[in-house]
Structure 1
Amino acid sequence: CEKTQPTQIAVPIFMFAGGAIGNLIAVIVLSGSRQERKSSAFYTLVCGLAVTDLLGTCLASPLTIANYMDALVLRNQRVCEFQSFVLLFFALTGLSIICTMAAERYLAICCPYTYHRWGVGRRFAQKFLFFIYISHVFFCFLPMMGIAESQLQPSGTWCFIDWRTSEPVATAYSVLYGVVSLLLILGTIVLNLAVCGALLLMRRRTVQRPVTTGSVRERWRALSSDAETQMITVLVMTSVVVLSCSAPLVVSNRLSSKLYDHKADLAAIRIASVNPILDPWIYILLRRSLFRRLLGLSRKCSSTRSISSPTQQIDLFHSDMRHDHVFTQLMCNASVITQLPAVTKFSRQDAEKL
C-alpha cells in the first residue's frame, strides 16, 4: 500500500493543478476583454462559471489530497459533510449557470423584444448569479441540517449523501436533487437546440429571399457576426463538456439506489471532476483574437469557392453577346427592345449560316 500511495496521490494533485491553473488563466483572459463585452450578460455568466469552477476545485481537491495522505481525514463527520456539500453545491451550480447561459442566448435570438424589455445585461446577470448561489447554498446545506446523511463512500476517497437510505425525508431530498439536475440538463439541451434551429431557419429564409430584402439580411448579418458566432460556439462546447461530465453522476446515483455499484459511482465522480479542468480551456482557446483568425480563414475559403463560379458565368455571357452587340444596339434605337430575345436568337442563327 505504501508503494502505491505516491502513484495514487499523483492523480488528484495533477487534477487540482490543472483545474486551478486553467481556471485562473481563464479568469485573467476574460478580465482582459473589452469593456463592451464585459457589459454583456453572456460574458458575466461565463465569468461566473469560471469562478465557480475555480472555487470548486480549490475547495474539493485539497480535501481529497489530504485524505490520500491521511485516511482519517474524511472519517471526520464534519469534514465529510463539508466535502459532500461542496460536491453537491458546485455540481448543481455549474448546471444552473450553463442552463442560464442557454436561456440568455435563446431570449437574445428568439425573443429580442422580451430580452430588451427585461433589460438583460451585466447587472441582470449578476443578480441572477447571486440568486443561484444563495438558493443553491440553502438547498445543498440541508443535508448538514439533518435532512439527509452524508457518508464516506466505499472507495474511501470522497464523501457524498446516502442515495440508498430508506428514510422518507432523505429519500425525498435525494430524488429532488436528482430531478432538479435532470431538468437542468434537459433544459440546456432543449434551449441549445432551439437556438441552433432558430439560426438555421433564419439563415434558410434569408437565402431564399431576394437580395433587396435589406432588413432581413441586416438582421442575419448582425446575428452571424463574430461576437455572436463566438458566443454560440462557446455555449455549445461548454454545454457538451458540462453535460457529459455531470450526467454520469446523476444517472449513476439514481440507478445505484436500486442496483448498487460503488465502482460506477467512483467513475462518475472522477468524470465530474474533469469538468472544471476542461471548461476554462474553451474560454482560452476560443478567445476573440484566435476565433477571428479561424473564422476569417473559413470565410476566405468559402468566399473563394462561391466567387469562382459566378465570374466564369459572367465571362461566358459576355463572350456570347459580343457577336450580337451591333445588331442589339440597332434594335434598341428602333424602340423594339421587347423583341430582343427573339431577334438575338435569329441573329445567332443567321450568323451560323453565314
Structure 2
Amino acid sequence: MPEAARRSGMGWGDMEPPNSSAAGQSDTCFGVFNASDSRTSAQTSITSPWFSTAFGLIGLCSNLFALCVLLSSSRKLSSQARSSFLVFLCGLVVTDFMGLLVTASVIIPYHFIKFAWAEVDPGCHLCNFLGFSMVFFGQCPLLLGATMAGERFFGINHPFSRSTSISKRRAWSIVGLVWGFSCLLGLLPVLGLGRYTLQYPGSWCFLTLLPDTGNVIFCLLFALLGIFSVLLSFIFNTVSVVTLCRVYHDRESVQRRRDSEVEMMVQLVGIMIIATICWMPLLIFIIQTVLQQLPASGRIQMLPTETQKMLLIYIRMVTWNQILDPWVYILFRRAVLQRIYPSLRPRPSIISLYPMLNPSLRRKLTTDSVLQ
C-alpha cells in the first residue's frame, strides 16, 4: 500500500501505515528505499558506477598532490603564523583524503560487484561504519574551515593580543579537537540518537530522513551545525577581508602590503565559497525534508523515490568539496599568484601598520613573532 500511495502522488501525511514486513525492517538499516526501483534504474546516469569511480580517483590524486605540496612548503617556512595555518590546511587535506579513501573502498566495489547488503552485513555494522564515515568526514571540513577563519580573524584584527602565534603543537591539538567532536557527532546514531540506513541506489549509508523523533533530532543537529560553521566562516572571513582591503587602499599601501596574510585569506575565501556551494543545498534539503514529514510522524517507513534521488544528487555535490579543496591551496599559493600578478612582491610586515610603536617594542616584534 505505501508503494501504491507513492505512485499515485500522495503526500507525506496521506500515506497509510506500512505492512508488517516493512514495519519489521524499520528497526534495521534496510528498507528505507525501494530496492526494486534501484535495480530498474541501475543503468541510468545518476547511479552509474563511473561517477563514484571517477570522483574517488580524482579526489584521492588531488588531495595526495596537495599534501605533498604542503609538506614541501612547511619545510621552507620560518614564520610560526604561516606554519600554524599550514597545519590547519594539512588537517583539512588529510581529512578529505581519508574521507574519500574510506567511503570509496565500500561504495566503488558495490557498484561493480552488486553484493546484497542484507547478506553481507546482516548486523548493519558495515552500514553503521559507512554512515559514521559520511557524517565524520563531512562535518570535519566545515568545522575546520570555521576554525581556520577564526584563527585568521584574531591574527589579522588583533595581532598584538597574543604574545606569540599559535604553535604547531597547539594547532594540531585544535585539529584533534575538531576530529574528536566530529567523531562524537558521528557516533550518536550508534549510541541511540537516530540511525544510519542504506540509501538509494543501495551503495551507501547515511542519516535517516524519516519522521522519527531520534532521526529528526540527529538530522537537524547535523544540518544546523554545518550551516552554523559556514555562516561563522563567512562572518570571520568578511571582517578579515575588509581589514586587509582597508590596509591595501591606505595612502601608504605600498609599504603596508601583507602578502602572506592576503595569500592565506584568498585560500580561506576559496575554501569557504566551495563549502557553501557544495554543502548548503544538502543541509537545507535535510532540514526541509525532515520538517515537512513531522505531521506524518511515525507513519512513513520508506522515502519517496524523488527524495532518494535528490539526496543522491546533493551527495554528489558534496563530493566535489573534497575534490576542489586541495586545488584551492595548489592554485592560490603566492608562487602561483605572483606569476599571474607580477606586482605581488614581498613587503614589510604588519609592524608597518603601527608606526607610532616605540623603537624598543618594534625591535621585539619581528616578522616571525607576529604575522608575516
Per-residue deviation, residues 23-82 of structure 1 (Å, max 9, x unmatched): 000000111111325762211111111111000000011211122123335442111111
- DSSP 3-state at the match of 2:341: helix
Contact 1:5 1:68 (C-alpha < 8 Å) held by counterparts? no
For the Cα contact (< 8 Å) 2:77–2:83, is it kept in 1?
A: no
1:252 aligns with 2:298: no
Q: Which has the larger Rg?
A: 1
Secondary structure of 2:206's partner?
Answer: strand
Q: d(CA) in 1 for partners of 2:276 and 2:170? A: 25
Residues 66-215 of structure 1 mapped to structure 2, 5 A cutoff: 66-72=109-115, 74-75=117-118, 76=121, 77-114=124-161, 116-117=162-163, 119-167=165-213, 169-204=214-249, 206-207=250-251
CA distance in 2, matches of 1:144, 1:35: 43
Deviation at 1:109, TM superposition (A): 0.8
**Candidates 281, 284, 306, aligned match of 2:327:** 281
CA distance in 2 between partners of 1:202 and 1:291 (Å)? 19
Equivalent of 1:20, from 53, 60, 82? 60
Q: For residues 54-69 of structure 1, what are the structure 2 equivalents within 5 Å?
A: 54-69=97-112
Q: Deviations over 1:114-143 (max 9, x none)?
A: 3x2474232221110011111211221111
Gaps of 5+ in 2: 1-38, 294-303, 346-372
Aligned match for 2:276, one of 215, 237, 243: 243
Q: Distance in 2 between matches of 1:135 and 1:118?
A: 26
Alpha-carbon separation, structure 2, partners of 1:229 and 1:35: 17
TM-score, normalised with respect to structure 1: 0.74
Q: Are the structure 2 counterparts of residues 73 and 117 from structure 1 closer, same or farther at C-alpha, using a change threshold of 3 Å?
A: farther
Change (3 A) 1:40 1:154: same
CA offsets per residue over residues 306-344 of structure 1, 9 Å max, x none? xxxxxxxxxxxxxxxxxxxxxxxxxxxxxxxxxxxxxxx
Q: Name the amino acid aligned to 1:172.
A: I
CA distance in 2, matches of 1:281, 1:101: 17
Q: Taking every aligned residue pair, what percent have the same amino acid on both sides?
A: 25
Structure 2 counterpart of 1:267: 313
Q: Which residue of 2 aligns with 1:336?
A: none
In structure 1, the residue matched to 2:93 is 50
Q: Distance in 2 between matches of 1:189 and 1:74?
A: 41
- 8 Å contact from structure 2 (residues 59, 97) kept in 1: yes
Contact 1:49 1:94 in 2 (8 A): yes
SS in 2 for 1:296: coil
Q: Distance in 1 between matches of 2:277 and 2:157?
A: 26
Asked if 2 retains the 8 angstrom alpha-carbon contact of 1:74 and 1:159, the reply is: no
User: Residues of 1 paired with 2:87 and 2:279: CA distance?
Assistant: 22
CA contact (8 A) 2:196 2:207 kept: yes
Secondary structure of the corresponding residue to residue 182 of structure 2? helix
Whether the 8 Å contact between 2:93 and 2:326 is mirrored in structure 1 is: yes
Partner SS, residue 160 of structure 1: strand
| TM superposition outliers: structure 1 runs of 4+ over 6 Å | none
Partner amino acid, structure 1, of 2:137 = F
- Residue 29 of structure 1 corresponds to which residue in structure 2? 69
SS of corresponding position for 1:256: helix
- 1:37–1:43 CA contact under 8 A, matched in 2: no
Conserved in 1, the CA contact under 8 Å of 2:230 and 2:275? no
Richer in helix (by share):
1
Please say if residues 81 and 144 of structure 1, whose CA atoms lie closer than 8 Å, have aligned partners that are also in contact: yes
Give 5+ residue unaligned stretches, structure 1.
300-354
Are the aligned partners of 1:148 and 1:170 in contact in 2 as well (CA < 8 Å)? yes
Q: Distance in 2 between matches of 1:118 and 1:160?
A: 42
Greater RCO structure (CA 8 Å; 6+ sep): 2
Aligned length: 285
Instruction: Give the Cα–Cα distance (whole angstroms) in 2 for the partners of residues 120 and 231 of structure 1.
Output: 15
